[in-house]
Each structure stands twice: as C-alpha cells, then as structure tokens.
Amino acid sequence: MPPAQASTSAAPFGIGQRQCIGKEFALMEGQLILARLLQR
C-alpha cells in the first residue's frame, strides 16, 4: 500500500490521486485580478 499522503501533498492544488478541479479557474482568476490591479 502506498502512503496515504505523498511527500508532495503541500503542492497548492494537490498532486496524486485527488486533485483540485478548480485549478484552471483559480489560476485564471489570479490573472484577472492582477490585470485589474495593473490597470489602475
């Protein structure tokens, strides 16, 4: 049996068997927020 938590479990959106499904959305939101701030 592999360990329940891999040593890479601190990766922001998860790594391995369970991963975040909101990753692409969250990364896009980050870009939009940055663009809004830079427009000021």
Q: Toward ligand HEM, which CB reaches closer, 26 or 34?
A: 26
Nearer to ligand HEM, 6 or 40 (CB): 6
Radius of gyration of the chain from its Cα atoms, rounded to whole angstroms: 15
Residues 16 and 6: beta-carbon distance below 8 Å? yes
Query: What is the rounded CA–CA span in Å between residue 40 and residue 13?
Result: 30
Residue numbers 1-30 binding ligand HEM by CB under 6 A = 12-14, 18-22, 25-26
* Residue number, 18 or 36, with CB nearest to ligand HEM: 18
Q: How far apart are CA 5 and CA 11, in angstroms?
A: 12
What is the contact surface with ligand HEM in residues (CB under 6 A)? 12-14, 18-22, 25-26
